[in-house]
Structure 1
């Protein structure tokens, strides 16, 4: 007779020896990190692994391992810490060269010292155009970075962002100026709205399933005012990264911004 399958999860001990389990909060302390993990890795807009399975995969772990899930570097990336108080990051559903060309770059070339060169241009000031740097971010997605926003950010220009989303796709840009941080979303050739990363409030009615995903992690829905859940635990820059991920499914990491880069000068924006 064939042996039945055994669910190994039943034999994995997720409780710490006493008094440590009780001191760390007991049963309720397991719920929050498992829920946060499931929300991170399984978007409401669609994922090949169900939310319940993602939750269960975290819930079988002891609290110390659950805490490790919360401390992963890529989840808590701070773009302000990386770039200072002036940057724009665009996620485009296209190869990096195509995205850069749609953003106004002609003669796209390799720029191995891209961020260093962008920083030098920023210090010198007064140079024509904006240096845009791009690379693959995930399968089917590219990330484009710009650090010169004195005449406006190319990635937030409505015509540029709309063009990146043409053909039923979604494109999104986040930017920071002093005392201002926003995430702009375009879908199917038009900008549908934007999110204030400081307050978490959304403006616009066309977010669709992306709006549901944003609500699920604590960004206020229409009519609500207060942040909650994961979004309430983060600073504005980290919150912008969370919003980018919930809209696109792409998780930004610091390693991603180490290059290699391609890019060139764009005269668009402003």
Structure 2
């Protein structure tokens, strides 16, 4: 073997020995989870500014939604706690006033009739409060089934239908008007109106007191219903109702005082 051949073979051996070993890369495991990424707050703000929709992991938006939900709950509570509207409140007050006025007017009419009787004056108005119970119509005002006129010192009730005569007579008797004693007079009814005695005037005054007290009871009921409809004492509109009640009861009290004075002068 020549010297040149020996040197060439030695160089080839060294080259193979010093060559780096290249190993194949390991394959990634199938199904391995990908690295988790987080969205920064600044990117969320940018999305919100652009009207973008954030993902499920966007905590700031969750907080925002929670805040909105809480706000809606408060709004619902506020609506539930809200009282009546101004229109509804005025309607309740008007209806209450109407009931109270009706009771007051009813009492005033009866008191006027009582004073007229106590003075010895003959007036058809004495019978205005009487209602006649008919089999087919129920209770109807006397002036719808008969006419009342004054002759001398007596009232004459002319009944239009003969079949209603007994019902009219019964209604007048049940009214129990102090000092008045109805009696049959042909096809009608005659009610003599004598000059009232002191005893009759006392009875009339007692009847006036009872009438006024009955009206006050009706007013109390109307007040209770009104306050309840407004939500109870202290709510808006309750002062208006109480003012109406106080005014009506004050008028009735003055009415009794005036009636008493008039009967004492008779």
| TM-score w.r.t. length of structure 2 | 0.23
Structure number with higher relative contact order (C-alpha < 8 Å, ≥ 6 residues apart): 1
Query: Which protein is bigger by CA-based radius of gyration?
Result: 2
Higher helix share: 2
| TM-score w.r.t. length of structure 1 | 0.23
